[in-house]
Amino acid sequence: MTEKKVMNRNLVVLGAIIIQLCLGAIYAWSVFTKKITLAISAGGEYGFTATQAAWVFSAGLAAFALVMVLVGPWAKKEPRKATMLGGIVLGAGYILGGFFGSSFIAQFICIGLIGGAGIGIAYVVPIAVGLKWFPDKKGMIAGLGVAGFGFGATLWVKLAGSWFGGLLNTTSLFGLPGVQSVFIIYGIVFLIVVLIGSIVMVDPPKGYKPKGWKQDSSAKGAAAKSIDYSSKQMLKTPQYYMLLLMFIGSALAGLMVIYCIRLFGVDALQASGFVDNAKSAGIIAGTAMASYAIFNGLGRIIWGTVSDKIGRKLSLFLMFLIQGLMMLFFMKVGGTKTGLIIGASLIGFNFGGNFALFPAITSDFFGLKNLGPNYGWVFLAYGIAGIAGPQVAGYFKDIAGQSGIGVGAWSTPFIIAGVACLISAILAIVVKPPKTDSV
């Protein structure tokens, strides 16, 4: 079947992008950390510790990854309904977090667990549906399909923090503080926009092939012939566990920096003497945070497109290598405005590449038919890294506050993340497609 008399497949890409813009709100968490960790004695509304703030973020990432696995088989059969449900749950989580999120446990449950679950329900649908409509451009479409997730963080960070005076500073709904008011506004927007995007989340007709496209079984990084592993079959292969470890190592670095970029930036800029007050440092760190998010989105598109040209394995190796080296040098360069922004941008760029390359290589290795549920299992790595990365950063930040170590406390978590990325680079060289006669 060719493209005649079927939906314009470009609408799927547009729908995927607007859905992912909303799902990417989880990456904007760092814009709230300053407000919620400000001590009550200093005028704060919440007085959370850095570790507690990290736990809200980690809960969202873990719920995101776990729910993806749980709903994967159903989402494969009902992509539109899964997207709709994801938008409803995500929106409800933020709205409830707005009304009841005055305590750590309430934010943990509403923003973390419920909001993260909503993201997990909807996230894989645009990727799986998009790759079925674009089997001729897997890497590029995987990148475009999730680019909104990265760009969304910039949108929500800027709206909350600075655009139009910053919603956190100018908004009070129902007499609630700025943080909770923003949660309510965001929840309503997420609910409406994801429901709109869900309209085009439908699989192509059976037997669909783009006009003029013929499957190339010799594509770099792909299995020798068309294969379709079930999740049960995939979990029996060593390749699955190698992909899982690679993803954990790379995601650890990106998620650690997403959580701590503002905290680290403020510490590093003042310790180096580049600025002499926390307010000035915070402005620069906010710019670095937004730059991270922009390059996170660009990395998804560019790394995905590059992988279609040079192969998934080589792309993964280069991405891991660059990321590992950058993490090891981040302590050195983060003490200046230019160094902090460039470092954050490069880390975000490489982190974003994960979300184009891993669904594409999962499809290369294990087939398109069961990509939704299969990628859910690979994406468990993100949940593991989502707990480990922010928790390691939050732990050392709290230790620094208690012991007076200062900015030097950031060295250990960055070294851990850098080494993990370099191990992932080695695994990228070693991993090979599974043998098709084992299916």
Q: What is the pLDDT of residues 304-315, one digit of tens each?
A: 889 988 999 999
In this prediction, residue 172 carries a pLDDT of 83
Give the range with max mean pLDDT: 12-21, 49-58, 214-223, 259-268.
12-21
CB atoms within 10 A of CB 225: 10
Q: What is the pLDDT of residues 169-196, one digit of tens each?
A: 888 888 888 889 999 999 999 999 999 9
Q: Report the alpha-carbon distance of residue 294 to residue 234 in Å, rounded.
A: 34
User: Nearest Cα to 67, choosing from 380, 414, 276?
Assistant: 380
Q: What distances in angstroms separate CA 89 from CA 128, 202, 409, one per listed residue?
A: 20, 20, 37
Task: State which amino acid sits at residue 88.
Answer: I
Q: What is the pLDDT of residues 242-277, one digit of tens each?
A: 999 999 999 988 888 877 777 788 888 888 888 888
Structure tokens at 229: 């592993």
Q: What is the pLDDT of residues 231-241, one digit of tens each?
A: 999 999 999 99
Q: What is the mean pLDDT of the chain?
A: 85
The band of 200, judged by pLDDT with boundaries at 50, 70 and 90, is very high
In this prediction, residue 226 carries a pLDDT of 58
Q: Say if residue 87's pLDDT is above 60.
A: yes
Give mean pLDDT, residues 412-424.
Answer: 91
In this prediction, residue 221 carries a pLDDT of 46
More confident residue, 293 or 301: 301
> Would you state the torsion angle of the CA atoms of residues 186, 355, 223, 234, taken in this order, to the nearest 10 degrees?
-60
> Would you state the torsion angle of the CA atoms of residues 387, 392, 397, 400, taken in this order, to the nearest 10 degrees?
150
DSSP string across 92-134: HHHHHHHHHTTSHHHHIIIIIIIHHHHHHHHHHHHHHHHHHH-
In this prediction, residue 224 carries a pLDDT of 43
Structure tokens at 303: 């790394």
Q: Say if residue 216's pLDDT is above 70.
A: no
Q: Report the alpha-carbon distance of residue 328 to residue 422 in Å, rounded.
A: 10
Q: Report the alpha-carbon distance of residue 287 to residue 280 in Å, rounded.
A: 11
In this prediction, residue 241 carries a pLDDT of 96
Q: Which element (helix H / strand E) includes 289?
A: helix 278-310
Give mean pLDDT, residues 397-412.
Answer: 67
Residue with tokens 């891993």: 358
The band of 1, judged by pLDDT with boundaries at 50, 70 and 90, is very low
Q: Which domains are present in the chain?
A: 11-210+219-438 (1.20.1250.20)
More confident residue, 141 or 400: 141
Give mean pLDDT, residues 45-58.
Answer: 86
Residue with tokens 């859910």: 376
The band of 81, judged by pLDDT with boundaries at 50, 70 and 90, is very high
User: Nearest Cα to 115, choosing from 181, 175, 162, 184?
Assistant: 184
Q: Say if residue 223's pLDDT is above 60.
A: no
Structure tokens at 379: 């994406």
Q: What is the pLDDT of residues 324-383, one digit of tens each?
A: 999 999 888 888 999 999 999 999 999 999 988 998 899 889 988 888 889 889 988 988
In this prediction, residue 249 carries a pLDDT of 93
In this prediction, residue 404 carries a pLDDT of 54
Structure tokens at 68: 């993806």
Q: Say if residue 161's pLDDT is above 60.
A: yes
Q: Report the alpha-carbon distance of residue 240 to residue 230 in Å, rounded.
A: 12
The band of 422, judged by pLDDT with boundaries at 50, 70 and 90, is very high
Rounded to 5°, the CA angle 72-77-83 comes to 65
Q: Say if residue 93's pLDDT is above 70.
A: yes
